Structure 1
Amino acid sequence: MTVVLGIETSCDETGVGIVADGVLLGDALATSMDEHARFGGVVPEIAARAHLHAITPMVEHALGQAGIGFADIGAVAATAGPGLATAVQVGLAAGKAYALSLGIPLYGVHHLAGHAAVDTLEHGPLPARCVALIVSGGHTSLLLIGDLARDPVVHLGDTVDDAAGEAFDKVARLLGLPYPGGPVIDRVARDGDPTAIAFPRPMTGPQDAPYRFSFSGLKTAVARWVEHHRDQPLPVADVAASFQEAVADTLTRKALAACRDHQADTLLLVGGVAANSRVRALAEQRCSAAGIHLRVPSPRLCTDNGAMIAAVGDLLVRADISPDRLDLGSDPSAVLRGALLHGTR
């Protein structure tokens, strides 16, 4: 059994996880979110400096939680992309340093593969074939997944502009709500009426690509509605609930269509927006009605974390996949082709 140390620094979370044979032994997470809030979004250089300060304490904390030492680590997995360039480089450099000093293999893994792999820590191995909806602040994708360690990932559709999480942040700003927008809209929407405003369901028409996403127009529709009602008290809860319903409806409608069209009986819902209560509830409702098995990690594992990167490394080690060289470079805009940054080997 190989113990894998996973490191995640693609955005504003410094995550460390320790996994062995599909079991999460320990993890730790630091965030610089509060430092970015006054800017309304993540500032790359602030994030990178925060990672530099947090990475060593988070590794030590995860090791302590697992009750092991550096001598017990058998492999290192680090996010090598995509993400903020300077932030990714901090975690990858740390991963290389640990691998070199301990004389153990290094795996530079794809951040989005981590979101898919993390569910195995709670619900066991993925089925031989499933549809994955990865939905986060920077990504919204429908994928066809087989053996995550060995098989290429097939992109069924991606967002053409704003990702769903990005739209949450922008709409929150329009409503005068704080950053990050996802959690606060979820909370505020509980007091609102999701049918109050008929916001559009983007790219769901008969002539639209069935698995592609676009949330820029939805954000604009909210902005126009707010502007049109600027002389009246703004019903923030109703706007938030109606916007959230439009996002949840669009995401789950397309995901269920992908499962049906590709004869997949499992939908994997992952990424930061998968922590949204309405997205989870509507996915569960629609999957149940369609006879589709829904797999969703607990909310704390939906957002960026080190456990998900360690989970990818664990899958690669157990599949006997060759590790990377220590001169592996990062790729901030890498397309997901497989668990390793540059695809399967």
Structure 2
Amino acid sequence: MSAPAFRALRRLDRGAWASLALLVLIALACLVGPLLTGHAPERAYPDLRQLGAGLAAQPAPDRLGPALERLAFRMRARLETVRSGPDSVRLVLGSDEPVDRRGLVYLPRSDLFGEPRVAEASPDGRRLVVEAPLRRLHFPLGTDVHGRDLLTRSLVAGRVSLLIGLTATLAALGLGVAYGAVSGFAGGAVDAVMMRLVDVLYALPFVFFVIVLVVFFRPGLGLILFAIAAVDWLDMARIVRGQAQALRARDFVRAAEALGLTGRQILVRHVVPNTLGPILVAATLLVPRVILLESFLSFLGLGVQEPETSWGVLVAEGSRAIESAPHMLAAPAALLVTTLVALNRLGDGLADAVDPRGAVAVRA
């Protein structure tokens, strides 16, 4: 990192540092959190669908009755009494014919009960007293329409969204910095031709471009990375071009030319290092833009596809179930908004630190 960029980091205000700390916490939670929740992201609990957020252990007493009624129906018996304790359930099954105990194998196949045992049985086999332990599961943010843990899925989705944001930003940085530096330093006809190409690419509708790609290629993570990186380098190229044009007339660049350094050497040693401040600011503000673009495309069904997930996918699922399960929208939307606000606040702080007079102002 160049000295100006390092000095800019030292001038960051408290709000920017707080945003950076929050982003680190979110990234760590997305990386480590799914390993600690106790649920696989694709593990579905059909008997625990659309649970609301809460810290109480599941299953709740109101969910035991329907599951036990289904068991009694399969065993061709009547559910006479049910007594539920904190860790187990005791039920009495009756029938006009001997109860087939083999039907008890259905009980541990549910998400609610463990291995049952017959505590008592009438001599004629028409009445069974069955005890079964309750499975105690926790879903702090609830479950979705398939019974999957929303906390786990939101954190795993954060991995994908942050990965797309960082990877596409790095790709846009590499292409945009190289293209803009060459264009700005070369000047003249070369600069004019290169910038007209940028103008042509700017005129292409982004969503139409993605739809065309989806027609010819399978939608997924790789396609969305390519689509976003292929468009977002244009802004970076313009920023670096302007900086390179300003630096081309500086004395240290002219001195390097007088010493016989080639254009490539001047770009690598002098021009690009002295544009790191604006590049750092632009990159910080480009990440939230990329994440928002990915979320928008996933919301439309053009982005990340199952079994992968992202914040955009979860927001789309939550919007479809907002009337019956509003918590499905609240969790991923809160993480997405918090990340975007923190990234933009960090970018604003970097912009002020690099140029306190506001000469460099980039907005996502």
**Range class of TM-score, shorter chain:** under 0.3
More helix by share: 2
Which TM-score applies when normalising by structure 2? 0.26
Which TM-score applies when normalising by structure 1? 0.27
More strand by share: 1
Q: Specify the structure having the higher radius of gyration (Cα).
A: 2
